[in-house]
Structure 1
């Protein structure tokens, strides 16, 4: 019996608060898909509405408080093998496994693989496998009561159970606690010896150290274990009962693997053979180090690959769907391509999610995206008592064993914000001296990584300053999370920080109009409407969107302006922050924005929304994450042009700086030319000549243009005081073979032009956004996936001008 072999599964409610209208679920099974989840099975059966739509999230809360049972029957024909094992790669989460009336196990960890010997329990016909899942909500509650209440964020005690934390709801995700057989399940038959696991660790000198774990049955003879890679082979004969063998093979003239932007990503096939069993995979040869040693400015955070420091252009990654069994290689490829196209070279798999499937890491291996992998602890204190300690240890060993082969894996990180939480979030009083997770981050996890994946750096947490006596979120040391911006202060505060490395920071904005209105049906549509607030999970989120406008943009006049204004403000805030961080190079060595993706349609910090539409923020990231970035920055002695060259070529161009009028014709009042030369992987700042500093800031601006097409703009006042022409541009629509073009011609400064074709057709996608044109310039937006309209205007074609003029 395998999940791919046609076994028919059913799903049935066992006990819990099933609504009267759905009470038949207590007596009548429905068809189930394995791998799958209760919610997706109920949805496929037409038993529930779309959990993402309207306020269905709260209407379906009963599902997470109900016990469920999966059943299947199958025949078994003996195949002469000595051992039969039931292998469950993922049970979510509190499961009782019974075969033919005999209980095999009770499990309580979503993140582990289990094997059960069923050799003497199979019959020829009518085997019945039953897996009952206790309510994930009630189980977490009971475990918390048993262990004791440890501080945590959000509603449910997710820190009491080894289950995806965000599955219980987060400040960007729905509270849809799932249950189910979420990964493959099968029966494996074998005799003699089998491969239990393989850890092929490839180093930059061409050496592959392959650790092969073995399992044996009775009567097995001596066995030869071999590994082949890149034309090199190694082997060893081992006696029965040997649990692990380590083989060394060296590839001559090896081609090194590099992150994108630094070189190619060659991968080598690996084959391990043991008797009749074999394992295949791919590796890339590289060395990765992490430098956090104190220096004159505090303590850095520098990732190096093959001896070369990497400036990180990164994003935090959350589970790409609230129902993770709907993810596959194609969905991962699409979302990771969003990161690649935005100029990113690292994704951080955040600790409130999951250890992703191998598809995710395979794609990162192939595309040169470094992976920072959190262990699964987030925003909470965790008991170090049994049974949690043993569960964490087994889970971590599983994860490191499975993922260590991936070339892209660059950092193992102990937790998200828990060290910071202990220091500053008021945990110590309720903990009353109890252990809170420190033993995991400073003892257990680093030992496991050192033992199983010594080639990959380990970090105790994020943020962390790499010293017990320094505040964990100190800007001068290690990694920093910047959350006072968004939560309390204006985004201009970014310039007050000089962080060595920013591993979390973000600013909210709504999803695409078509995404939002597909699930929010308030009449009239309003930022504070009932369903709108269902799809805004952050505390006082829409109030913070309003407050966050500050003096940057005016308060909206209608819902269309609310949508455009808050999307624009999100993009500007993050662009502002990253431009500042990059202007500090080499003091600053990277940034990881919160967040790349969404797991449902929601107002959030994501750059790409839950329907896969790239928000204006994404286009801002593409600009500020480009290898070469120009920006204008204020310094104590005046304005400077900051240029960061994160490429292997010298950047040389002639910069033309001009002080111009914002109004019709765009008169130039002063002009200067400066030669820019920036060595590879370096940064320079050049003073802006005094003649270019505005004398009448309300209708003048500074533009910087390089001969290579690079640009930067500086505005002497915020848009609320800037005189922008209302009639600054015209547009023409032209049909094309795959959609249409919209060509915009500016007659005055047209600031932050954006086209939203999804407002006309949700399938439409546009190639550019946030385009600023000086008088006389043109830009063509190319739209695919939709037929051409006769014309476009507000709210499809927007700019900052139509908000403030």
Structure 2
């Protein structure tokens, strides 16, 4: 069999400016990160603690050298030895035994080198990594990434420190390859209009394949044989038609069906029918389309006309669904160190929050393949962005010469995953802080690449597009005085692709990274600021002390401050998800910013603190994203004693169209629990409703008693269906209470 991997032991050396050879060598992790390995070996303190991250800045100007020494393996006649890397970040020079074989630029395209002609009895493979790319003449922020095809988040963002990685961030190996072999195979398909059958074909590449027979064996989701097809290859690279698979089991997002996966094996057959080589994989059969949202063709209604809003209604296998998702950023600053277990635990968290989709944000770039494999298995949709974000990327030939092969590598590597439901050019590219538009050559190139290589998967130039929304990101807008409840009631978007409310991390996370002397009270200029609590977007974010104090006054201790901030985040995110669902079918999607922190933020909009610590907001989101729930549209968070309280009642239903998806007629009971006692509101007899349809109910009203100060709760209960019940925690203040002034907010990425 060909392509048997040979394990290498890697070392790394630090090339400081002016050095030709490292002073010392250290063990290297592959996949991993050069800065992480060298910084740790040279005694730099944990960058996640205190202000230590500033001590790592000098590594930006350094080069690094990887080396692996190995004995020449036994190579039967005709067998070759190849070095293969799944990706090296960012610019690298590769040599074996002193002979330079290749220069490589870009983190995503694989490297494949035949070492056979250069082998000796003892060999040394060296890979020199150039200093991280930084655009000359630009300040030390994300704009230094504006002429590279590399995640901008590592150049510094409002929630992540500036730590720019490079090195062998993806797997690398030696492979012995037979003279006649399969190098790659990919099973492709075309579903029939009724989605019941699939025409299969296999893309095959290798060596000396002309005239050879191949057999594809397909196993169904339950492991039973689904079909066997044979064909004769006519060339070393071939698109081989196979046949038709009937009665296809479709791949569905977890909350809408079963994510059915088939397993396939392509065997290269010898003359006697024995297997000479093989390739294996999985395939999920699904159809994804982006449709116009309901009512979008009617807008704009008058003359002069402009274009209607962009299509963002997801249709999966012929069924329109309301997508509840979250924005995904790399869960570690050094992405090369992320293992499959890390992906699995966070994807399981997403499912636990009743989320359907993860938007792989363009600022962070594509993940390792293990992420997509887990999403395939778990039934999580992926919105995949290319690594462009909040910058004006150039039309220059030099930039496009890197973008095009790197983008092709991304699409070719990920298109086989059924979870990948939409391609997107990048984040916020059509906004003023980026300055791009749909004539930008990088975006035209990305669209063309996706059309050529994966035409059945939708493509968006960027997010947001017309009709879609990004923001807001605070509980209270100081420019308008509106809290998130009032803000959401006054907007109407086809999709809320980003929104957030900040909340502090749990106290044990804070104690693990902030010096004890700085824990209380939180202050700018301390490690609180290093960890995103102050001066991250505005002077007050992401801790947002003035907002917390506006509602609750000064906190007596850190635990009280954390509890108050986390309450605002939980109730705020619950409000946005539920309001977006109430705006269905015109609105089709809601995704919070963001799922999880990439390092220990003291405060952030994430619902999972680093490394995997759910905040109360996580459980609030899980409640707001249940397939069916009793819901209340509220005017505001803070009420006044003696004021008329109002809550518009709803039943929200996103369940799929199956036998149990409709809502039978029933009874809703609503009441308040205040410090002065229980206040009955109403009982609502609601009618039955079909699948995937909401029911709007009456408005519940009651005067808040003068003695109802402090917090109170609204309870919305469904008789006989306790799993649909909802509770909202709100604030009641005395009439003379005044909110303090809150500093105004700039546009997020300006």
The normalised TM-score by structure 2 is: 0.84
- From 158, 163, 186, give the equivalent of 1:198: 186
- 254 and 661 in structure 1: CA distance in 2 versus 1, 3 angstrom threshold: closer
CA distance in 2, matches of 1:633, 1:198: 49
Check if 1:80 corresponds to 2:53.
Answer: no
Residue of structure 2 equivalent to 1:528: 523
- 640 and 42 in structure 1: CA distance in 2 versus 1, 3 angstrom threshold: same
Residue of structure 1 equivalent to 2:640: none
Q: Deviations over 1:81-115 (max 9, x none)?
A: 35433212111212111111111122121111112
Per-residue deviation at 1:373? 0.6
CA distance in 1, matches of 2:615, 2:697: 32
Per-residue deviation at 1:340? 0.4
CA distance in 1, matches of 2:241, 2:34: 44
Check if 1:58 corresponds to 2:66.
Answer: no
Residue of structure 2 equivalent to 1:539: 537
CA distance in 1, matches of 2:673, 2:572: 25
The normalised TM-score by structure 1 is: 0.78
Residue of structure 2 equivalent to 1:15: 16
Check if 1:360 corresponds to 2:374.
Answer: no
Check if 1:157 corresponds to 2:158.
Answer: no
- From 670, 677, 691, give the equivalent of 2:688: 677
- 8 Å CA contact 1:168–1:175 kept in 2: the answer is yes
- 458 and 166 in structure 1: CA distance in 2 versus 1, 3 angstrom threshold: same
Counterpart mapping for 1:746-765 below 5 A:
none
Residue of structure 1 equivalent to 2:298: 296
Gaps of 5+ in 1: 429-434, 466-476, 724-805
- 8 Å CA contact 1:3–1:184 kept in 2: the answer is no
Residue of structure 2 equivalent to 1:459: 460
CA distance in 2, matches of 1:134, 1:436: 33
After the TM superposition, which parts of structure 1 deviate over 6 Å for at least 4 consecutive aligned residues?
1-4, 635-638
How many residues were matched structurally?
681
- 651 and 70 in structure 1: CA distance in 2 versus 1, 3 angstrom threshold: same
Residue of structure 2 equivalent to 1:625: 625
- 208 and 512 in structure 1: CA distance in 2 versus 1, 3 angstrom threshold: farther
- 190 and 483 in structure 1: CA distance in 2 versus 1, 3 angstrom threshold: farther
Residue of structure 2 equivalent to 1:645: 653
Gaps of 5+ in 2: 220-225, 270-275, 300-307, 637-644, 737-750
Per-residue deviation at 1:549? 3.5
Residue of structure 2 equivalent to 1:497: 491
- Any idea what SS the aligned residue of 1:295 has? helix
- 8 Å CA contact 1:652–1:677 kept in 2: the answer is yes
Q: Deviations over 1:357-408 (max 9, x none)?
A: 2211111111111111111111111112222212211112111111111111
Check if 1:94 corresponds to 2:94.
Answer: no
Residue of structure 2 equivalent to 1:325: 336
Per-residue deviation at 1:28? 1.6
- 8 Å CA contact 2:383–2:424 kept in 1: the answer is yes
Per-residue deviation at 1:7? 2.7
- 540 and 248 in structure 1: CA distance in 2 versus 1, 3 angstrom threshold: same
Per-residue deviation at 1:168? 2.2
- 8 Å CA contact 2:326–2:592 kept in 1: the answer is yes
- 419 and 213 in structure 1: CA distance in 2 versus 1, 3 angstrom threshold: farther
Per-residue deviation at 1:522? 4.8
Q: Deviations over 1:199-250 (max 9, x none)?
A: 5346333315334142436xx652234433243233432334x433132432
Which is bigger in relative contact order (C-alpha 8 A, separation at least 6)? Answer: 2
- 8 Å CA contact 2:646–2:700 kept in 1: the answer is no
- From 24, 27, 30, give the equivalent of 1:28: 24
- 535 and 238 in structure 1: CA distance in 2 versus 1, 3 angstrom threshold: same
- Any idea what SS the aligned residue of 1:497 has? coil
CA distance in 1, matches of 2:583, 2:33: 47
Check if 1:176 corresponds to 2:175.
Answer: no
Check if 1:233 corresponds to 2:228.
Answer: yes
Per-residue deviation at 1:548? 3.5
Per-residue deviation at 1:500? 1.1
Residue of structure 2 equivalent to 1:572: 571
- 28 and 701 in structure 1: CA distance in 2 versus 1, 3 angstrom threshold: closer
Residue of structure 2 equivalent to 1:445: 446
- 8 Å CA contact 1:658–1:703 kept in 2: the answer is yes
Q: Deviations over 1:31-68 (max 9, x none)?
A: 22222222332365462221111111001111222111
Residue of structure 2 equivalent to 1:216: 207
Residue of structure 2 equivalent to 1:245: 239
Residue of structure 2 equivalent to 1:560: 559
- Any idea what SS the aligned residue of 1:373 has? strand
CA distance in 1, matches of 2:167, 2:681: 67
- Any idea what SS the aligned residue of 2:76 has? coil
